Amino acid sequence: MSTRQFFVGGNWKLNPTSLSKAKELVEVLNKAELDPKTEVVISPPALYLLPIQAAVTNKQILVSAQNSFYKESGAYTGEISASQIKEAGLPYVILGHSERRTIFHETNEVVALKTRAALDAGLKVILCIGETLAQRESGDTAKVCEEQLSAVVKQIKAEEWSNIVIAYEPVWAIGTGKVATTAQAQETHVDVRAYLAKAVTSLVASETRILYGGSVNAANAKDLAAQQDIDGFLVGGASLKPEFIDIINARK
């Protein structure tokens, strides 16, 4: 098992439907016994970021934004800048999630610009990559992940990778109940690490945490967590359920 710190993020997406329900989720986490060796991040909808941050009493739990823009300010209706997120005291932002890429048509280059802006603002980035089912079936998984990462590689320096956590999320396994086999997930993580070694440095490749995301649950978390190159999870639906605690404790 690697020495990289295990990381579990909960991406709440556009959930829950009320602040009171969001605070109930936080209260469960506040009272839970969480593996102290695991870094835990939750990412509520933008309107809930500050009240949820205030509701967190367990100092192990950090709060992340789900998205940010690549401009600091200006006439960009509906957007939030990385500097605004940082000024609010939030340490992380999720960028490049497949839903942003597919539903909102964010290109690799846009994700790279957002990553650059977030790092410039002093944020840490959970950078999402991953392939569709068609790309998986055509054998293009490694190629797609490399293309998504290469746009970011062009924008940042080697030493800045310490502020990036990569989340590999096969699009076909997000919210579908399908999960990449343990072997498939590990294989892709190895490929991503090999690309980082080639495109950046071997040190960056060995130190960068690579998470798996895609219908992770309490039943499969331990097997996935035991893999050498899987450094944690970015969890969607299961982060809204009590089993999120079991996922956080997958290496306990």
Q: How far is CA 182 from the centre of its chain?
A: 19
**In the structure encoding, which two tokens stand for residue 60, read together?**
């192990």
In this structure, the chain runs to a length of 252
Q: Which of 235, 230, 190, 186 is nearest to 211 (CA)?
A: 230
Sorted by where each begins, the domain ranges of the chain are 7-248
Amino acid sitting at position 19: L
How far is it between the farthest Cα atoms of the chain?
A: 48
Amino acid sitting at position 206: S
- H/E element, 87: helix 82-87
pLDDT at 1 over 70: no
**In the structure encoding, which two tokens stand for residue 112, read together?**
């790279």
Exposed / middle / buried, residue 101 (Cβ in 10 Å: 0-12, 13-18, 19+) = buried
Question: Looking at the domain covering 7-248, what would its CATH class be?
Answer: alpha beta
pLDDT tens per residue, range 117-172: 999 999 999 999 999 988 998 999 999 999 999 999 999 999 999 999 999 999 88
Mean pLDDT rounded to a whole number for the chain: 96
CA separation for the pair 240, 131 (Å, rounded): 25
CA separation for the pair 213, 174 (Å, rounded): 7
- Active site (catalytic) residues: 97, 169
pLDDT tens per residue, range 168-216: 999 888 777 777 889 999 999 999 999 999 999 999 999 999 999 988 9
CA separation for the pair 90, 83 (Å, rounded): 10
**In the structure encoding, which two tokens stand for residue 9, read together?**
């993020």
CA separation for the pair 71, 88 (Å, rounded): 17
pLDDT tens per residue, range 203-250: 999 999 999 998 899 999 999 999 999 999 999 999 999 999 999 999
Q: Which residues pair with 210 in a beta bridge?
A: 166
Handedness of CA 191, 197, 202, 206 (dihedral sign): negative
- H/E element, 92: strand 92-95
CA separation for the pair 42, 61 (Å, rounded): 7
